[in-house]
Amino acid sequence: MSTQTKPTIALGADHAGFEYKEMLKAFLTDYEVKDFGTYAPDSVDYPDFAHPVADAVESGAYQFGILVCGSANGVAITANKHQQIRAAICWLTEIASLARQHNNANIICIPARFVSQDLAKEMVSTFLTTAFEGGRHGTRVNKISC
């Protein structure tokens, strides 16, 4: 009997991304999802949620991260302060695919105020199922860290 484990996802959002975070949490039934908050739509500071998600992915405890805020800029900037994180802002499914294929991104950042929930689900699905191509892209990715 196989005891295959589900892929792991660290999930977080600020108040602007709260609704999308809750929707994505319900959507990601094929994954083990850890919700790092926020847990209510009240105003909060995005670094308080981006750092724990980035820590979880950077440590290897979770395979991928999903961060959501209004523009996705705040959470992406915060997550990318972590050495082993490659957080990509995505607003099209093709961008989500390329972030994985060419950049080996490990956190997708979604701008809740600029994409529909259906597009957010499509981007997340694409991001989580697209493989890194390696090769010349691996050489480039290896030059990112300081």
pLDDT digits (tens, 9 = 90+) for 81-93: 999 999 999 999 9
User: Which among 15, 69, 82, 109 is annotated as catalytic?
Assistant: 69
Which residue type, as a one-letter code, is found at position 70? G
Q: Is there a contact between 91 and 44 (Cβ–Cβ < 8 Å)?
A: no
Query: How far is the C-alpha of 134 from the C-alpha of 136, rounded, in Å?
Result: 6
| Domain 8-141 classification at class level | alpha beta
Annotated catalytic residue 69: yes
What is the per-residue pLDDT across 47-76, written as a single tens digit (0 to 9) for each? 999 999 999 999 999 999 999 999 999 999
Q: Does the active-site annotation cover 102?
A: yes
Backbone angles phi, psi at 68, to 5 degrees: -135, 130
pLDDT at position 4 is 63
d(CA 51, CA 7): 21
